[in-house]
Structures are given as structure tokens and as C-alpha cells.
Amino acid sequence: MKEGHVIKATEGTSKAIAGLLKSSLEKKIFEAVLVPIRTNKEYNYVLTDNIDLLNKAEIMPPVMSVQGGKVLQALTRHGKSRKIAAVMRMCEIRAAIELSKLEQTDLENVFFISVDCNGVTPLSDYLEDPSCAGKKFRPLCEICTSFSVVGDEQAQDVDIHAATMGVDKGQMLLIPMSTDGESVLEKLGIDKKQDAGNWVKQTEKLQKQRTAAREKALTKTKETIKGLNGLVEVFSRCIECYNCRSVCPICYCRLCFSDKETFRETGGEYLDRAQAQGVMKCMDEVLQFHLGRMSHISLSCVSCGMCEDACPVDIPVGQIFSVVAERSQAIFNYVPGKSSDEAQPLRTFELDELTEVEDK
């Protein structure tokens, strides 16, 4: 990735990429594109082949009102789409790839364009004061290490990456990441190449900084959830609205375990419990929900922070889940969303795995 294809970006990243998408629609390289569009004060993903509409496109909007992975799930779950291009943040692409392993997205006809990401502003902050866009970021964004195509989380299914960091103002470098990506750039006639050394330097530098910051921050978070008391404390103000679950791209179950009859006891059973304990808080299912969800999704968590963004009572649920996710993913050396070829650990059996727990 030492060099990239140069395009003009004198009017900014968004216009540049929108221009690219317009050409590709004109040249019938794609049948439609999936991009965020600005309407009034909101940003929504649209699937469109309308070139004029792309004038309203806002690539890399300051807020993430819906996780791109969830959008792709809705669009492709019941069958492949026709050839479309999707412009998304790395965490959204990774979520989509992770979902493909569970047959919830079909990415065969999806062409991914990723962009260097500075982060996303929390929704509540943005709604209160739109001017903080681009200045205030989600706590997880501040320690994100998958903001570009550098590092271990690099999503290998990306087709073109738009490099903006460390690139001369007024320009953008398009880096083809796959043979599909190369062929599209060729069809678009974008062949002027330029050295990307500066971008590589910049992104690697930021990667180092972020990695250190992430370790520090998550270590701190880990302290707060040590032991049962820590967990109870941290989740004490949870109102069980299930927002975190609703916005999470990985949570796609039709009926969550926490909504099932399994844990619903009869009045008599509750009273028996209360009698045995002396007192029983009604209803005491908060930890059961969060710990259960943690055990279900932690291998696939891409640390996007949607959950934390959506939490109405400001629980740092994204950071907490990221702590657990990192540890469980490390056990299997698994990076969620990195490659659609890498099967999920709990779906596959390897003879020589987890040997540390074996009887020797």
C-alpha cells in the first residue's frame, strides 16, 4: 500500500467520494449505492441509483444513527442484492463481515469503500449542540485502533480505501484493497498514482497512540467492573430499556434470551425465593441481561460504541463490553470482522485448541 490513486478533493472528502459514486453509477459499474444522506438535521442511509440525490450525500457523517452492519443485514439477509457499493466506517464493515459468518448478511455483491475515520460524535451531545460535531467523540472512538486499514483489525474484505490522513489538502488517495477494487478504479479511469508514504506514516503513528490509549482506558474500565459489587455498581442505573441491544449490529436474534419465558417464574416461585433470601428486589434481571449478552456476543463485538451512544442513562456499556470482548477474543486469537474466511471460534472445532485446559 505504498501508493494510491489520486483524485481531487478540493471540496472535501464527502464531495469527492460522492463524485466517484456518481461516475460509477453513470458508467453502470454499480446498480445502486448505499450512502448516508443528509436530510434536515438528520443523517440516514439510503440505497439509491439517483445521481442527483448523491448531491445530498454526507459520507462519514458526524453521527452514527444506525450501524451500517445492521443496514446491510436488513438489505441482504433474505437474498443477495444486486451489485451495490457501500461506503461505511471500518467498524460497520467489520460488523457486516461478522454477520456474514452467521448467514445474516450476504456480501457477495457488496463493494466496500472504507474511509479514514476520525470518530463519531455521541448522538445526545450532537442533538444538544450540533456545533460539537467533529470535536467531541464517543469514548470508544477516542481509543479506536481500527480507524483505517492499518493494524490487526484491518478488514480484508474492503475493496477500496479512501485515505485522507496525512494526504495533501485538496487531494484524496484511493487505495485498491482487492482485485475488484483495482478493476473499478480502472473502469473509472482513475489511474494517476502517488506515493502514500506520508499516509502510512501518519496512520501508523496514530495507531500507536491509540493502542496505548486503549490499553490505558480499558484497564481503567476493568477496575470498575471487578467483582460482583463492581458490576452491580456500574449497572445500577440500568433501566432495562434494551436500547443497547436494539442498536447493536451483532444482536440479531428474533427473541432475546432475556425476553424468553425461561427466566419468568411463577408468583409462587418468586415468593419462595423472597422467603429464602429474606427480601427480593423486583425485578432483578439487570446483571443477568448484561452478562448473558456479553457471553453471547463478546466474540463478535467490534467495539463500535453504538450501544453506549444509545444508552439513555450514560452507562459506559460499550467500554465494559469491549474489555470483556478483548479478553475472550484473545483466547482464540480471533479478530471479529477481519476476514469472512475466518470462521467464528465457537462454530468450529479444532483438535489442538485450548490445550491449556486439557488433562495432560
Torsion of Cα atoms, 136 then 98 then 94 then 1, to 10°? 160
Separation of alpha carbons 19 and 140, rounded Å = 31
Nearer to other proteins, 109 or 348 (CB): 348
Q: How many CB atoms lie within 10 A of CB 183?
A: 13
Using CB under 8 A as the binding rule, whether residue 273 contacts other proteins is answered as: yes
Nearer to other proteins, 127 or 232 (CB): 232
One-letter amino acid of 91? C
For residues 94 and 156, the answer to whether their CB atoms sit within 8 Å is no
Residues 283 to 312 in contact with other proteins, rule: CB under 8 A: 296
Which of 257, 270, 332, 334 binds other proteins (CB under 8 A)? It is 257
Separation of alpha carbons 340 and 96, rounded Å = 10
Using CB under 8 A as the binding rule, whether residue 80 contacts other proteins is answered as: no
For residues 59 and 86, the answer to whether their CB atoms sit within 8 Å is no
Site string for other proteins, 196-235 (x = CB under 8 A): ----------------------------------------
Separation of alpha carbons 207 and 143, rounded Å = 9
Q: Which stretch binds other proteins (CB under 8 A): 62-70, 218-226, 232-240, 271-279?
A: 271-279
Using CB under 8 A as the binding rule, whether residue 103 contacts other proteins is answered as: yes
Using CB under 8 A as the binding rule, whether residue 131 contacts other proteins is answered as: no
The sheet carrying 42-48 orders its strands as 42-48, 32-39, 84-88, 110-115, 160-163, 171-176, 3-8, 193-195
Using CB under 8 A as the binding rule, whether residue 347 contacts other proteins is answered as: yes
Using CB under 8 A as the binding rule, whether residue 355 contacts other proteins is answered as: no
Which of 52, 191, 261, 341 binds other proteins (CB under 8 A)? It is 261
Residues in the site for other proteins, rule: CB under 8 A? Answer: 78, 102-104, 252-255, 257, 260-263, 266, 268-269, 272-273, 276, 296, 346-348
